[in-house]
Amino acid sequence: LAKTTQPISMDSYEGQEVNITCSHNNIATNDYITWYQQFPSQGPRFIIQGYKTKVTNEVASLFIPADRKSSTLSLPRVSLSDTAVYYCLVGVPYMDSNYQLIWGAGTKLIIKP
């Protein structure tokens, strides 16, 4: 099974833009890329989802190149409350037509004052 690769950790400062990149080989042709945020002792929270090019919502942007083998989550003007673990989620082919959802190891983002 293909795996996703993310930086283990990142540091930034309040007010900065933060970009987190995820590499994902063998992504399914019709599958989406999804990013989640998780605080300690809580379940993950959906941030954004995309298929190609660029998607933007009220909290983040997602950039996906044409080959879809990677994606970049962009968090504008981060604050201390954005300190969390960020997961990249893709579906990969598994046992013919069944799809298994694979989570990356996550990126621990620490925002400093």
Q: Whose Cβ is closer to other proteins: residue 16's or residue 26's?
A: 26
CA 41, 46, 50 angle in degrees (round to 5)? 150
Which of 58, 113 has the CB closer to other proteins?
58
With a CB cutoff of 8 Å and minimum separation 6, the contacts of 73 are: 19, 20, 21, 22, 35, 47, 48, 60, 61, 62, 86, 88
For other proteins, give the closer residue by CB, 8 or 113: 8
Binding residues for other proteins, per CB under 8 A?
31-32, 34, 41-46, 49, 87, 89, 91, 98-106
Q: Cβ 28 to other proteins, closest distance in Å? A: 10
Closest distance to other proteins from the beta carbon of 113 (Å): 25
Distance CA 56, CA 108 (A): 22
Question: Please, what is the minimum distance in Å from the beta carbon of residue 14 to other proteins?
Answer: 26
Residue carrying structure tokens 């080989």: 25
